Every structure is written in C-alpha cells, then in structure tokens.
Amino acid sequence: MAKEIRLQPVDVVVVGAGLGGAAFCARLSERAPRLRIACLERGGWFQRADLPAHRRDWQELMMSSWATSPNLRQRSGASARSADYAIDDSQSAFKPLMWSGMGGSTVNWAAHFPRLHPSDFRLRTQDGIAEDWPFSYFDLEPYYDLNDEAFGVAGLAGDPAYPPKKSRRMKPLPLGRLGRRAAAGFDRLGWHWWPVDAAINTVADGARGACNHCGPCQQGCANGAKSSTDITYLPRATRNGVDLRPHCVVREVVIEAGRATGVRYVDASGAEMLQPASVVVVAGNGVGTARLLLASGVASPALGRNLMFHPAAYVRGMFKDELDGPVGPIGCALYSHEFYETDPARGFKRGVHLQVTRENPLLMQAARLEPAWGGEAQRRLREEFRHSMAVLVLAEDLPEVHNRVVLADRMEGDGLPGVRVEYRLSEHSRRSLDFGLDRAEEMLRAAGAYRVVRVPLAPLAGWHLLGTARMGSDPGSSVTDAQGRCHAAPNIIVADGSLFPTVGAVNPGSTIGALALKLADDLAREAA
Amino acid sequence: MSDALLMAVLDALLPGDATLPPASRAGLDVAKLAAPAQPLLARIDARAFLAADAAGRSDLLRAVAQSDPVAFRECLDRALAAYYQAPTVLAVFGWRSEPPMPQGHELIGDDGPALALLDTVRDRGPLWRR
C-alpha cells in the first residue's frame, strides 16, 4: 500500500473550483492576504480550442461527450473533459447536471443570471411555509453587486420586479426575432417582462470576446464571452497566491474530536496526500458536497436532505414567421415575473419564473420528437425548425426531508462511496408548474403561436442542486449556521448552493457567488 | 443483402420528402453506421422487409422497436446524428454545415421598438414584495 504523503499545513483548503469555491478563494485571498490557501479540484482545465463549437459534429457532441449530464457523458464512452462520477438518478424526477473541472458548472451553464427576490429570503415570515434565510436580500445585496462586477453582467437596469440594481455593465443581449415576438405577447397581455441579466459579454472585455451568438453555450464558450470562474475568479485567486491544484480528488475531510484537521486526497499521479488545514471549505454543489461530508462521517441529521432543484417544464409555440432557431445564447432573451410573488387565489404559495429561451439545434430537436423517425417526424421538424419558441417554467421547490442525496453501498472508481439522488415532485410543485404552463401557453398564443405543445416535466433540467447542507440555527434541521459553518464541526465551511434554505424560482448562480463572497468576508474578519 | 437491408432501414427511418433527401441519398458515411445498426438488423427478416412497401416497412420497424427498444434506439440515434449533420440536409433546413465558430451568427433586426414597450412595464411601479 502506497504511503500517504503529509503536506505542509495550510490555513484554508477549499474543495471545488466551481462557482462557490472560486468566488470564495478570490475573495478570501484579497481580504486576508496572509492566509495560505489551497484549492483542490477533482477535474482539470478545459481548452477553448477543443470545444465542440469549433467542430462540424458539434451537435452530436452536445448529446454525448459534451452533454450536460455527467451520466450521459459517461455513457457515451468518449473521453470527457469533466472528471465525472456516476450518480444514480433512477429515483429522481430530475437528472442532475453538472461539470467537474476548473470552473465547475459555470463551464457549461447558460449564464442566465437573475437574483433572488427579497421575498425569497422570508418564506416563513411572509407565507408561513418552509424557512426564512438567516439574513435578508439587503444583507446580501452588496455581494450581489460585487459578484455582478466579477462576472460582467449584460442587462438593463430599472426592472420593477426587483429593488433597484446598479446599472448593468453591458447592454442586454439582443432580443432577436424570437424575443421581439415574445415581448409583443407579454405586452398584449399587460404582463411584466424584462430582458434577462446574463453573465455574457455583449461587448469585448479585455481578452474576452463579445458574444457572437454562435449557440452552444452549454458546451463551453469558445471565445470567453460567457463568464465562467476559470476566467473570472480563478485567475484573481491565482494572482493572490492561492495554490490551485487540478485533478485532485478529495476522498475525506479528516475530523478529530469534532473539528476538521485537513483533507485526504489523491492527486493526478495517483499519490495519496494528506493536506492539513485549519479550515476546510467544501464547495462541490448539492450532490458533491453532501457526498463528501456524508462519506467523511459528518454527523448531522439534515445533511443530504431537503434537496431542491427548480421544477421545470415548458411550452413550445409554433409560428408561421421565421424566428431565430438555435442562434444566440440559450438562456436569453427575456423573462416574466408577473406571477413570481404569492397570490392565494392560485391555490399554491410562491410563484413561477417564465423564461423565453432559444430553440435547440436541429439534431437535438429531431431526437426529441416522439416518434423521432419516419415521414411524419420529418414533416414536423420541417414545420418547427426556426419557427418555434420555448417558454420555460421554473417553479419554486420547497424543502422536503425525503428529497435527498444518499450514499450507495458500493465504492466508486474515485475512491468515494457511490451516490444516489432521491427526489419526488411534490403536489405543490405540480400545481405551480401547471399554473405556469397555462400562463406560458396564454403568452405564446398572444404572441401569435398557431399551435402549442406542452411538455409537463423537463427531467434533463437538473442544474440547480440546492439545499442539502442548509443554513439555520437548529442543528437538528439544518447543517450549518449563517456563516456556512457546520454545526457538527465548526471549522468545516460549506460555500455553495447546498446552503440554500429555500431556492426561489430563479437560477441560483448569482446567489451562489454572492453568498460565497459573503462567507469569505466572514472568515476573513475572523482571521484578521 | 445486409447493405441493402441497412439502406432500406435507414430510408424507412429517414425517408425524406420532395426537397429533403432520403437517408440513402444524403451522403452519409454508411460504413460508420453498419456496426451500431447490426443488433437491430439481426432482428429483422431481411427478405420480408425488402419485399414490403413503405407502410409495411414502418410496421416491421415498429414491431422491432417494441421487442428490442435498446437496439432500435441505438441505431436510430446514430442515423439521426449522421443525417441531421449532413451538409445536404442542413442546407434544406437553411443551416450551414460549418461549425458555429469562429463565424458565429447574426441576430437580425432592431430591438428598439420592442424595448420601448418596457415603458408600460416601468409605469406599473415596483412589483416586488419587501
């Protein structure tokens, strides 16, 4: 058996270089420059020159080695750039999507960048359900602003669905024919709509280009227009002296007498390492963080539980006139929060996010027809391609203890126990989605759709992996305190979406980044 | 026989229309499809399939799809990928065969009038709950 190598101690070791981990590293290294910080990432760097967008078979790659699902990538048998681990998602209504490498899931996110609303932090107080966050929107607001600055947001200030935000650094993404059609539909109904905030450059910024609407954002951005932490926070962290270590799979947070003493990991050469540290920060997303902490024996009854996605469904509308098809970022062009806040008359609490999105490439659209073959399928594809618009409905998921991440009995190739996701769609979520689908259909018809197709559930929309190490004051029902410190071992800090007590009905990236910055400040103050 | 069967199966999956070519005339690299199609072809009675008309071939494929959905889907996915990435097919859909980069795409038109509609939204005042 190979001997474990004991490394020189560091002050802080961060596990994961995705959104939370990278933001944490950059901020902590600025606020507490004397701290020795190491960041261990199970995957490596990806090269922009290798991305599917440069290849003629890019559509096929989107569905195989560059699919958004780690399970699909693994099943494709191709050598993936993401250091994936198998996730048993057979008992989950939504299939977890992620990327394991420098940049984490910001490598293949859509960079749709909304904030939570103030009411999202106060569900217990305002609606009598779930939990309040331990702080308010306005406590987090300065960190939202910092995070916006780091990512470089394109958008339009003045949205009345939110408290005033600072002016966006760049003009919004173009609406295009699709967006203009949708805007007319919302306007006809008198509903709120607004161009999205996107972490995508609409003008060139230093070495990073402006978006040229090439399309496959979720397979990595070929010219760096889309923000991801490998080109935002991680270079800052490196400049500040953070020791970034790719291809290092952390197998255990070492805990002695109720405190973490470091982490055990295997490096790129296969050597087994012990990295002693005064503080261990875990940022591996709602699945990876729970998996590591459970495997490390963190004793916390809520750990892994209360898993929340954002229940997703959509309606596609068909139009006689030509729209843009798969041109431009998938996560645009506009959204409506007309139905975001609670209205008791709807029969459910909280609300829905309606987002107009661009269509899929031709092959993906063809493969999703049912049936996908024969003359009728081809006729439908001819009718729909470049003539359709999808309205995505995201509902607010509520925490339920039976929705969870659990360890499987078997060990995986990465030296950690296997992981299983158990998630049932609640009646509440179903009602929210159905309401949202009705509204989406109404809007599409107002915009001129002559035919609509409802997709009542979108299983491959499991991007948002949240709530499995949630913040709170009660160690029986929460995993960490308001500073992300585990009740069971206070020098383990969680710094990702696992912390969310509730999740709103919008994409969480902006909030994950802001939260990680806040937690880094909390630690820096203590270290001063 | 197996080449003829493969071509016939591909054409039943992707028959084309007045402007869209059938799979056998879309310039696909059929040799690359032979191996993934083999488990499906092995379940088809070649003589009966080749003798059937278009509707009959579809019926036979539906039956095989039911009895061995994995083999059917594997063959279908490969056929779809080859077909809908073929330059001749992409051209019919008004799409170019060159990769998305470095050229990118253009979003056409003026957003100004649509963005002016936001005045109505602004005029409603704040929508958020404190």
Three-class DSSP category at A387: coil
Q: Residue A80 has what pLDDT?
A: 66
What ipTM was predicted for this assembly?
0.96
Taking a C-beta distance cutoff of 8 angstroms, is the pair A259, A272 a contact?
no
The alpha-carbon gap from B67 to the nearest alpha carbon of chain A, in Å, equals: 16
Whether B82 has a pLDDT exceeding 60, the answer reads: yes
- Residues 301-340, chain A, touching B (beta carbon < 8 A): 324-325, 327-328, 337-338, 340
Q: Residue A294 has what pLDDT?
A: 98
Task: Give dist(CA A81, CA A46) in Å, integer.
Answer: 7
| Contact with chain B for residue A88, Cβ under 8 A | no
pLDDT tens column, A344-358:
999 999 999 999 999
Q: Where are the alpha helices (DSSP H) in chain B?
A: 2-13, 30-41, 46-51, 54-67, 69-84, 87-92, 112-116, 118-123
pLDDT tens column, B35-47:
999 999 999 999 9
Q: Which residues of B touch A158 (CB under 8 A)?
A: 118, 122
pTM above 0.95? yes
Three-class DSSP category at A121: helix
Within a domain: residue B64?
A: yes
pLDDT tens column, A392-409:
999 999 999 999 999 999
Residue B66, amino acid = Q
Q: Residue A13 has what pLDDT?
A: 99
pLDDT tens column, A313-339:
999 999 999 999 999 998 878 999 999
Three-class DSSP category at A244: strand
Domains held by chain B: number: 1
Within a domain: residue B124?
A: no
Find, among A440, A430, A423, A358, the residue nearest to A395 by Cα: A430
pLDDT tens column, A288-298:
999 999 999 99
Q: Which residues of A touch B125 (CB under 8 A)?
A: 160
Whether B1 has a pLDDT exceeding 70, the answer reads: no
Within a domain: residue B122?
A: no
The CATH superfamily label for domain A5-34+64-527 reads FAD/NAD(P)-binding domain (3.50.50.60)
Note down the domain range covering B57: 2-98
Within a domain: residue B89?
A: yes
Whether A1 has a pLDDT exceeding 60, the answer reads: no
Residue of B nearest to A221 (CA): B101
pLDDT tier, B73 (very low <50, low <70, confident <90, very high otherwise): very high
Task: Give dist(CA A284, CA A417) in Å, integer.
Answer: 15
